[in-house]
């Protein structure tokens, strides 16, 4: 059972606040009876809801995991004419929105959905959903540098912090580092290394929450399972 205003929002008819107004105006009926109480709950599977006499149905929620490749943007269109990740998806999924972003030169796991609550839960800092990245960096990286990342540092007027940082390999020419972040600030991994005069040459997001990139091939997508969706929301 869900609140009537949430049902209207999930049917794509109004925001929750606007849905409340529709209910108060007497424009919504449940099983043929006009309802004006904001606390009303409905069963989407069994109750018949109408708005101005027209049937309202909750849209099927879609949750997609995509392996983004380098050289694509995450918006539906680009003012520079660059290709977008939507070229990798069926045309009928053009209405889905990305959950967070990966920049043009970054790769790896990204979710797309039509569920706003799901997106909020995964992107708002208060929920602390962890994302794991593998960064290849020009030059040598040592433990002292990674300790700065996990302690937190200020750069360009903003604080950045990694939950964990692990050195996979390092030479004088190139290093590979695993970073786990919880806030998801704009270009956070790249800016952490920028603060130490290191340039990220390749960046791959390999995990979000408990969901791993695993065997998902570059440019391919799959639907998230019910178990995976629940793991991200709990």
103 is an active site residue: yes
Q: What is the C-alpha separation between 175 and 57, in angstroms, rounded?
A: 52
Buried b (16+ CB within 10 A) or exposed e, 11-35: bebbeeeebbebbeeeebbbeeeeb
Contact 91, 99 (CB under 8 A): no
Q: What is the C-alpha separation between 8 and 23, in angstroms, rounded?
A: 10
Q: What is the C-alpha separation between 74 and 125, in angstroms, rounded?
A: 21
Residues 6 or more apart from 35 whose CB is under 8 A from it?
A: 4, 23, 28, 29
Catalytic hit among 47, 52, 78, 103: 103
Catalytic site residues?
A: 103
């Amino acid at each position: 059972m869900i609140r009537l205003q949430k049902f209207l929002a999930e049917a794509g008819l109004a925001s929750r606040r606007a849905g409340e107004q529709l209910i108060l105006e007497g424009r919504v009926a449940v099983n043929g009876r006009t309802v004006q109480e904001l606390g009303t709950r409905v069963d989407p599977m069994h109750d018949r809801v109408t708005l101005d006499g027209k049937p309202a149905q909750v849209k099927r929620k879609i949750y997609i995991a995509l392996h983004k490749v380098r050289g694509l943007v995450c918006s539906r269109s680009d003012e520079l004419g660059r290709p977008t990740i939507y070229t990798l998806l069926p045309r009928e999924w053009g209405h889905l929105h990305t959950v967070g972003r990966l920049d043009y030169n970054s790769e790896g796991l990204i979710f797309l959905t039509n569920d706003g609550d799901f997106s909020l839960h995964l992107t708002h800092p208060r929920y602390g959903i962890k994302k794991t990245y593998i960064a290849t960096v020009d030059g040598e990286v040592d433990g002292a540098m990674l300790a700065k990342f996990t302690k937190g540092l200020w750069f360009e007027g903003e604080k950045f912090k990694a939950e964990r940082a692990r050195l996979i390999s390092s030479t004088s020419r190139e290093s590979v580092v695993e970073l786990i972040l919880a806030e998801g600030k704009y270009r956070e991994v790249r800016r952490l290394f920028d603060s130490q005069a290191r340039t990220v040459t390749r960046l791959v997001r390999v995990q979000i929450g408990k969901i791993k990139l695993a065997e998902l091939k570059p440019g391919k997508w799959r639907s998230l399972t019910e178990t995976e969706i629940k793991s991200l929301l709990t």
